[in-house]
Structures are given as C-alpha cells and as structure tokens.
Structure 1
Amino acid sequence: MHKLFMLLILLTTLGMSLAAPPVYTPVTPKALIFPEDFGAHENFRIEWWYVTGWLETPDRQPLGFQVTFFRSATEYDEDNPSRFAPKRLIIGHAALSDPAAGKLLHEEKSAREGFGLAYAKAGNSEVKLDDWYFIREADGRYRTYAEGADFALELSLAPMQPLMLQDLNGFSRKGPRSEQASYYYSEPHLQVSGTVTHENRPIAVKGSAWLDHEWSSEYLDPNAEGWDWTGINLDDGSALMAFQIRGKDGQKVWAYAALRDAAGQMTFFSPDEVSFHPMRTWRSPLTDADYPVAMRIRTGNIEWQLEPMMDDQELDSRLSTGSVYWEGAVTVTRDGQPAGRGYLELTGYDKPLSM
C-alpha cells in the first residue's frame, strides 16, 4: 500500500485543465487473474511494482536495495488525440543502503508515457523509463535495471514461492470505508543475483527480495497522516507483511498483517490485532523529521522487533512524488530470537500527507 498515496499527492498538484474528469474503475472484491494481473491496469488511477531486499557481496558485506516503478493517471482528458498529451506518468525510484557509505544513496526520475521511452504494458510486468526497466520473463523471473549518480543496480529475481495474495484474495482494505482499498499481491523470498556498481566498481551480489504489486483508484481516509509498513523474509521460509495507517489525531486509522508459514499456511490479523510501537527515533539532518527507525510490532500474540541496518535511510523524492520518507533495510527478531530481514517504510513524519 506504501507508494500509492504519495503519488496521489503529486497528481492533485498538476493543475491540468480537464475537458471532463476521467472515471476510474473502483476496487471491489474479486478474484485476481494471472498472468493478466502481472501487467498494468490502465483503468485504475495508480499502480506500482515495488522491490526491496538484502544483498551480500563476495566478502560477505550486506547491502540493502529498493527499486520501484509507478504508473499513474494524470486526470488529463483520455480523449485528447495528441501523442504528446501527458495522460499517464511513469515514475521510478531506486536506492542502495550501504553501511560503508553511512547514508542512503538514491535516485528518482519520471516521464510522461509514450514514444516507447516510458511505458507500463498490460498482460505482464513490463515497465520502462528511459534506460530503467522492470520486466517479468516467460519463466517467471524478473529483471531490473536502475542507475543513479552514485550507483547502479542490475539484478535478476527468481520466485521461490507462490504468490502471496493479501487480505481477501488480493482485495486489500486501507481504511474503514470499503472503497479505501487496493488490489495487492506480494512475492516474498525472491532469489536475487546480479551486479551492483558503486564508486565505479561492479560488484557481484546475491541475496533475497520482496516484491509488491498494487493498484487502486481511491485515496486514504481523509484523517490519515501517514503509514508504517514492513515486508519481511523470515529465515525459516515464512513471510510477514504488516502495516498501519496513522491518523492526524495520533490514533490508528487502519492496520493489517499477514503471516505465511513455510508450508504456505496463511494467518491474517485484523486491525485490532496489529500495533506498531516506536522503540528509538532518528532525526534527519536534512528535514528534521523524527523517524521511529527501531520498531516493535505486535501481530496477535507475536512480538517482532525491527532494527535498521543504519539510521540514515531517508529518501527525498520531492522531485517526483513530492514526498520525503524513510525506507530502509532492517533486521528482525521474533519474540526476542533472530528471525529474518526485510524493509521498513515510514511516511508522514516530515509533514502530514496532504490530499
């Protein structure tokens, strides 16, 4: 659910004159259909493919990475015949967490869809933004490439487990009203191999990753200030996803978690069973935002503790989505015992999200 609403903030600021407001398909409970739902869904307002993971270098040094591609409608008149009409945007984020660098290295870029330079295709995961790409091959493997001023990522990601359909068979609630929802599936425990280029030096890497694919047409609840989200690949082959949406009054607007064990058995947790508790904060020298980078999460009677690979994993995406947020690699314990590694995303701490 993470990236969806940051993009909606951007879309409200575009200020385009409309011949007629476009009508987007609402999100309602239905079965997802594959392979079609691997691809883009242009009748919905916003969509993204989001990959996070942990890598290891040949000398066993850990790295974290994130690659995200967004497809978003701009509310520009779909009937405009011009090939130059900016009806849809393709936006990309990429980041590398390297403890040796001491801070997050990140890059962003965006372009209007068209001319074969930027697109998100229907029918399969295939997104392109200039020389950046995210592609699902016929055998189910993914390939992705993204490059920044300080780093480049060229990775292959192989599924090792079935799809993890979130909430009600992929219909994922995001608030107290039923229309506040998305279609949402994950692919945990992707096996990663490839190359990270850093300081002009290519480094062979391997590791594991988590993929989210999500699409929707609806906003957060008007009372929402931001959200906390985590996706965790557990050492025993299990997978955990949890999030909470925080209200402007400091209360929990909504929450959800799902735990799938190594045998494929799913356990779902209702909003009342999920809670996030900050343990330690880090203040950004760039924005003065205080982020709860160490977090304790309860799902039912299970307690998880998340500790960051490093504190400074703040991502400034004001040039693309208009937001600043913390998104970083974390280690995880379960009931006090080492359990796995994943990613934590924290939004709305720089300033409340404005819809």
Structure 2
Amino acid sequence: MQRRRFLATPLLLPTLTWPAEALLAYPPVTPGPRLAFPRDHGGHPDFRTEWWYVTGALDSPQPDVGFQLTFFRNRPGTAETLRSPLAARQILWAHAALTVPGERLRHTERAARANLGGSFSSVDCDVSIGSWRMHREDHAQGEVLRLQMQSPQFSFDFTLTPSQPLLLQGDNGYSRKSHAADLASYYVSWPQLRVDGVLVRDSGRQEVHGRAWFDHEWSTAILGGGAVGWDWLGINLADGGALMAFRMRDAQGRTLFAHAAWRDAAGQLRHFIAADVVFTPRRRWTSPRSGASYPVEMEIHFGEQLLRTLPVLDDQELSASQPAPVVYWEGLVKVEGSLRGRGYLEMTGYAGTLRL
C-alpha cells in the first residue's frame, strides 16, 4: 500500500482574509463504522479534528510518575483553495507533561502547519513534529507503539506493548457526545499497554516501566447544545480490566450527556448509557493562575459500581499557547472504591468554554 504523508512546519499564520466560499462542509460522523486497522490508526484528514493521546503511570524506579503525550490535528477549512505549499490546510500541535509526586507538574508543547517539517500518515499511526513522534511498529514478536519527545524540562523514549485487544468505544467505534446523533466521534482505545523505556529529567537518565492508555479520536463536532467542556476518565484497573467514563457539561456544571465503558478482567465489555452514569464532585482545587475551580476528587457511579478519583498532585493544570491559548486539567489519579486502579482524569471548560 502506498504510504501517504502530510508534512508540517512551525506554525506561522499569515494575515489574510479568507473568502466565504473557501469554507467547507466536513464529513459527518455516522453510526455503523467499519473501522479497519492499522489503517484507522492513521490520520483522517477530511475530518475537522483528531487526536492521538497516550497517558501512563510508571512504577519504577519511582512509583506513581505520570506522563502524557498528545498529538492534535485540525483542518481549519479556510485555506482549501490556496495553492501555496504553506497554506494551513492541516495544523498539528502536541502537548507533553510529566507528573512527579511531591514536585510541580512539567509540561511543554509544539505546533506545526502542513507541508514542511513534520508529518502524519493516513495509513497507520505515525505522527510527528520535529523530534517528537508517536508511531506504530510491527515486530516479529508483535506490534508496539513508540513514543519519543525531547525538551529542556524532560525527555522520554518509550515502547508500549499491547497486552489486550483494542477497545472500540460506543457502538463499535461510534461514540456519541450528545443525545443528538450528529454530535459524535469515532473513538478507539488501547488500555493496559506495557511501558518500557528511558526517562530523562533532573535526576538523570532512568530506565522505567509501567502501564499506559492510548486513545485515538476523530470528529467534526463534539461540543453542542450548551456544552462548555467535559470530564473524562481513562483507568487501567488493578485487576487487568479497563474503564473509560465521560460526561459533557454545561456552564453550571450540569451533566448534558454521559457514557461509560467497562471491560472486566475476563474481557467482558459493558456499556452504560447516559442515565446510568453519574459524576459527583467531592473536592475542588482552585488554580492560582487561571482561577478555575476543578473537582479533582470526583465520584463516578455507573451501574452497581461506585469509585472515587484521588489525584497524585492537585495542581495538574496545563496552560498551552500554541496554536491558540487553552487551559485544562489533566493528570494522574488513583481510583478507589468498588474498582481500583490508576489512570488519567481530564477536565476541560472550567477556565472558559473549550474551543476546538
């Protein structure tokens, strides 16, 4: 199969007025997808928004060190008619963060535009901006994901080895974000990835091991109907199972839509509809920078299960500036209750309506 690649360069936005006719209609997200892999690990450049997202918890040489690496792709829809190779038809950006107990959160970012410098593949997971890269590799022993990033704050080179199959969220990968069917995404998770590799930070170069969670999601529109953001939880359970739960939230903190997917240690997958999923804030932390108040301890009730998030650090707020300012909370939490484990809690829209 011919490999298609889309190149990117550091983001330099020209001062231009886009003609109205240059705007386009993006393809809709519809039920009944036939996802195929590794093809659908790759980019979907016709859609407006896409992200490849990995979070994890390291066990050695120090327990409860969290890491995150996310690549975002956006099709602005405002440069489709321009012939210049510098036209911003596809914009990439990436966030990386490191949580160390007892220390401050470290995070860094990069941004790019299409056709120079970086790339993403449309036939497999392979996205990069400069020396930052996330890609899938086939080996004789099986497939792996490779994460590589470097910055003055920290660097890592991790290999992620699957221990269980992909988890297609929602209806075989069609994940609704609202009671309205047109607000949805295509959404694939890969829980319980074994992490091996090297982390570089103040204490030097360390070999590390742990567990990670991979998400890949693409869509045209997922916020609507008064939603300002979401609360999302992805947990690798201690018994080998996996849990994903989210809710879409309005400006008053009310739940507009919710969903949960729980795959138990035996591999049985259960989905829980909006009426069966309840998020209840229990303790808040207020950012001294943004003033946003985040419910860092949250109870999540679905079916007969009740659990509570306990953050490794209260201050895991990320403030990014490229390609546009965005502030959100994303960090390593432990989960206790009827299910136990570790993973990441993401909360958006508390410092203002999230703009995608």
CA shift digits 1:184-234 (9 cap, x unpaired):
010000000111111271111100000000000114114002110000000
Residue of 246, 254, 257 corresponding to 1:243: 246
Superposed, 1:134-149 pairs within 5 Å as 134-138=134-138, 139-149=142-152
TM-score by length of 1: 0.91
* Inter-partner Cα distance in structure 2 for 1:78 and 1:218: 19
Partner residue in 1 for 2:226: 223
Alignment of 1:231-310 (within 5 A): 231-310=234-313
User: Which piece of structure 1 moves more, 18-27 or 260-269?
Assistant: 18-27
Of residues 239-248 and 193-202 in structure 1, the stretch that sits farther from structure 2 once superposed is 193-202
**Pair 1:319–1:197, CA change in 2 (3 A):** same
After superposition, the C-alpha distances for 1:251-294 in whole angstroms (9 at most, x for unaligned) are 21110000001222111000011111111111111112111111
Instruction: Give the Cα–Cα distance (whole angstroms) in 1 for the partners of residues 317 and 252 of structure 2.
Output: 24
Point out the more displaced range, 223-232 or 78-87.
78-87
Q: Deviations over 1:308-347 (max 9, x none)?
A: 0111111001333421011010011133xx7111110111
**Pairing 1:123–2:127 present:** no
**1:80-100 deviation per Cα after TM superposition (whole angstroms, max 9, x unaligned):** 221111111111000000114
| Secondary structure of the structure 2 residue equivalent to 1:341 | strand
Q: Where does structure 1 lack aligned partners over 5 or more consecutive residues?
A: 1-10
Amino acid at match of 2:34: A
Secondary structure of 1:37 counterpart? helix
- Residues 51 and 70 in structure 2, CA contact (< 8 A), matched pair in contact too: yes
| Cross-structure match for 2:26 | 24
Distance in 1 separating the partners of 2:160 and 2:91: 25
Q: CA deviation at 1:16?
A: 4.4
1:141 partner SS: strand
Q: Which residue of 1 aligns with 2:58?
A: 55
The one-letter code sitting in structure 1 at the alignment partner of 2:321 is R
* 1:207 aligned partner: 210
What's the counterpart of residue 42 of structure 1? 45
SS at match of 2:353: coil
1:111 corresponds to:
112
Compute the displacement of 1:112 (Å): 0.2
C-alpha distance 218-132 of structure 1, shift in aligned 2 (>3 A) = same
Aligned to 2:77: 75
Deviations 1:16-55 (A, max 9, x none): 4454212321100122112211111111111110000101
Count of residue pairs brought into register by the alignment:
338
User: Do the aligned partners of 1:105 and 1:150 also contact (CA within 8 Å) in 2?
Assistant: yes
2:96 partner letter: A
Q: Separation in 2 of the partners of 1:118 and 1:130?
A: 6
Q: Is the 8 A contact 1:22 1:77 kept in 2?
A: no
Question: How far apart are residue 164 of structure 1 and its match?
Answer: 0.2
Q: Tell me, in whole angstroms, the C-alpha distance in 2 between the residues paired with 1:354 and 1:315.
A: 15
RMSD across aligned positions (CA): 1.8
Alignment match, 1:150 = 153
CA 72–352 in structure 1, closer or farther in 2 if over 3 Å, else same: closer
CA distance in 2, matches of 1:43, 1:71: 11
> Contact conserved, 1:224 with 1:253, CA < 8 A, in 2?
yes
1:47-86 residue CA offsets vs partner (Å, 9 max, x unmatched): 110000101232x333100000011112133242211111
| Alignment TM-score, normalising by the size of structure 2 | 0.91
Q: Do the aligned partners of residues 118 and 15 (structure 1) sit closer, same or farther apart at CA in structure 2, a change above 3 Å counting?
A: farther
Secondary structure of residue in 2 paired with 1:306: strand
